[in-house]
Amino acid sequence: MEPQLGLIEQSFNVPYSVWVREALDELPDNFTITDPSISGHPMVFASRGFLKMLGYSREEVLGKNGRMFQGPKTNRRTVMEIREAIREERNVQVNILNYRKDGTPFWMLFHLCPVFSKADGRVIHFVGVQVPIFRKMRQSVNGFVSNGVDFCEDRSGLRETVFGCCRREVCSDSVVELGRVLGSHDKEFEVDETCEANDLEKRQAAGAISNIFSVLTHYSELTGKLVCEKRCCLSGVGLLGALSLGRIKQSFVLTDPHVPGMPIVYANDAFLKLTGYARHEVLGRNCRFLSGQDTDPSTQFQINESIQTEQACTVRILNYRKDRTSFWNSLHISPVRNASGKIAYFVEVQIDESCKNKDKQGLTPEMKHLSAVGAVKVAVRSLSMSASTSKS
């Protein structure tokens, strides 16, 4: 456990200044921050509000995965939706049933957002904001009839009715406690009927994300390791290279084998059109994000093997667009060497097999692959030669 704690400390100490935890603790929002680069994707920070809402101490949650808050009636499909968003390194917002430490279930709006390194586009953290969903309670507890009271629409009215002129923070705590009491008598109702967040709760989640990123951005500026909410363009391919590569009409990406995760450092317009993604949603990610539920793992293994042996390969793989429609991709992967003969990138050329018609020049898919690869190699070698000349 000690090595894990060391990694958790390092997860925050490297990108941010030492004061970031205190600044985050001042925020009133309920949230956690997780690190996908640590085995098990554990929580490396939990806000005071979050701990109070769930009934845990900070020591009990740090180093653990967020699934510790799930229970027997948590919707598995919702959990898979969250996992898919993590795999694809994108935002997601879902309504999910979670459990407090004392075992009582409650509905919450969960908003997950990746934190990107501005330098290389990697995801270094995920921020998970939790907004409790207040709902109509239908039980009578100790003579208090709660039928028709909506915790979401009429929270101020409820405080006035039940607690009179109590101070605001005391009332807030009491409302949460009352929700627990009512929840303990109404577990089946809570569990079996999906509770949807309203617009107010969605705005609260968006506001919390904005507050958290303001803190993270400020304290990352102090270390020179700036983070951002949207993936920035990577500097792996310069302007000259981008201009040369932009003339290639066939869909392709360049990936950098020298960076962990082998991220995409260049994607041309044809690739964006084919997949439906925006450029900032693609750069810095591994091409595996195009895979999905029915993608054959053996094909992915074949791709990995060709990359490890630095050999070219052509495969037929089922990929998915941003809208989750599938297409059969005739994919060709080839190493690209610079002027000194060292591998600088891998180029991955995609052809949608549903577009069976040949182009105006009558090129076959194989010829299209080789033509695109040849053009990329020429552009990269020219770029590296220009860089060598300018240095000398």
Domains, in order of start, for the chain: 2-133+195-228 (3.30.450.20), 239-385 (3.30.450.20)
pTM: 0.56
231 Cβ neighbours under 8 A, 6+ residues apart: 89, 116, 121, 280, 281, 283, 284, 285
Cα gap 87→69, rounded to integer Å: 20
Q: What is the DSSP string of 251-306?
A: -EEEE-TTSTT--EEEE-HHHHHHH---GGGTTTS-GGGG--TT--HHHHHHHHHH
205 Cβ neighbours under 8 A, 6+ residues apart: 93, 109, 111, 129, 131, 197
State how far Cα 334 lies from the chain centre: 28
Instruction: Select, from the ranges 23-37, 165-179, 378-392, the one with the highest average predicted confidence (pLDDT).
Output: 23-37
Tens of pLDDT, residues 104-161: 999 999 999 999 888 767 889 999 999 999 864 434 344 444 444 444 433 433 333 3
- Between the alpha carbon of residue 269 and those of residues 119, 152, 250, 276, the distances in Å are 23, 45, 9, 10
Cα gap 24→112, rounded to integer Å: 17
Mean model confidence pLDDT for the chain: 80
Q: Are 115 and 216 in contact (CB under 8 A)?
A: yes
Cα gap 212→276, rounded to integer Å: 29
The predicted structure's pLDDT at residue 237 = 56
The predicted structure's pLDDT at residue 301 = 93
State how far Cα 360 lies from the chain centre: 41
Tens of pLDDT, residues 244-290: 677 788 899 999 888 778 888 888 889 999 999 988 888 888 999 99
What percent of the chain is predicted at pLDDT more than 70? 76
The neighbour count for residue 234, using CB atoms within 10 Å, is 20
Q: β-pairing, 343-352 with 252-255?
A: antiparallel
- 387 vs 244, residue with greater confidence: 244
